[in-house]
Amino acid sequence: MKMRALKIGAAALLGLGLGTGIAVASEGGHIEAQEWSFAGAFGTFDRASLQRGYQVYKEVCASCHSMKYLAYRNLQDIGFSEAEVKALAAQYEVAQIDDAGDEEMVPAKPSDHFHSPFPNDNAAKAANGGALPPDLSLLAKAREGGPDYIYSVLVGYHEAPAGFTVPEGKYYNAAFPGNVIGMPKPISDDQVTYADETPATVHQMAHDVSTFLMWAAEPKMEERKRAGVKVMGFLAILTIFSFLTYRKVRKAVHGH
């Protein structure tokens, strides 16, 4: 236990972050720790999983959850080409003021931010039985457990235990704090068809979309880790040189 605390402390100090391989017990919710390609000091995002995760977001989650901090062009970071991003953006419409001062709807450009499903929070709540579907742009960093938490919420729909009453219009969820959630079970097997033919199981889709949401919340994670590793290397070399200098000085002073 002490070792683990020390390890976490040391990694945090160096700005590396240990990733998310640690099981976390959040208030009332049961969180299942997953294996993530991006965990650890050398972890990187799995591009195929990111692209599948975007597909899940787009085809399933985007009907309720906005991701307003992301622009379509950000998708180039996860391996979509410029032309693909242009085509993806053009599937949505944005309002624009034309020369006559009138508002017209035009296809979105890569620089536009992701289309939001509702005009504002009130409309979002009204459509969801009073529960607000939070913006997903930063959720992976905003919740304890991060991607493990998101994964666990998505797979956490079970029969409520005996004696547990779930209010009308709400659902039992093992991971959500308080175990009562306003989101109906969003994914079931084969909900999407992956272009790369990966079987779309609930586990796979939950894993992919959580990976995508982690990238969205911290798109520069890989750069940060690379910088951290460089700093470690630099410190290691500095330590060796300091030791050699110390030996030299000691020899000069003591003769051994």
Q: Please, what is the minimum distance in Å from the beta carbon of residue 7 to ligand HEC?
A: 28
The stretch among 32-40, 87-95, 97-105, 176-184 that binds ligand HEC (CB under 6 A) is 176-184
63 binds ligand HEC (CB under 6 A): yes
117 binds ligand HEC (CB under 6 A): no
The stretch among 32-40, 157-165, 181-189, 218-226 that binds ligand HEC (CB under 6 A) is 181-189
61 binds ligand HEC (CB under 6 A): yes
Q: Round to whole Å and give the CA distance between 10 and 112.
A: 40
Q: Round to whole Å and give the CA distance between 243 and 39.
A: 33
DSSP 131-152: ------SSHHHHSTTHHHHHHH
Exactly one of 21, 28, 79, 184 binds ligand HEC (CB under 6 A); that residue is 184
Q: Please, what is the minimum distance in Å from the beta carbon of residue 125 to ligand HEC?
A: 8
Cβ contact 136:57 at 8 Å: yes
Q: How many other CB atoms sit within 10 Å of the CB of residue 129?
A: 13
The nearer residue to ligand HEC, 75 or 183, going by C-beta atoms, is: 183
Count of residues for the chain?
Answer: 256
Give the pair of three-digit tokens for residue 80: 């979509």
Q: Phi and psi of 184, rounded to 5°? A: -65, 150
Exactly one of 17, 186, 217, 221 binds ligand HEC (CB under 6 A); that residue is 186
The nearer residue to ligand HEC, 116 or 128, going by C-beta atoms, is: 128
183 Cβ contact list (under 8 Å, min separation 6): 64, 128, 131, 133, 153, 171, 173
181 binds ligand HEC (CB under 6 A): yes
> Which positions lie near ligand HEC, rule CB under 6 A?
56, 60-61, 63-65, 128, 131-134, 139, 143, 150, 153-154, 181-184, 186-187, 209
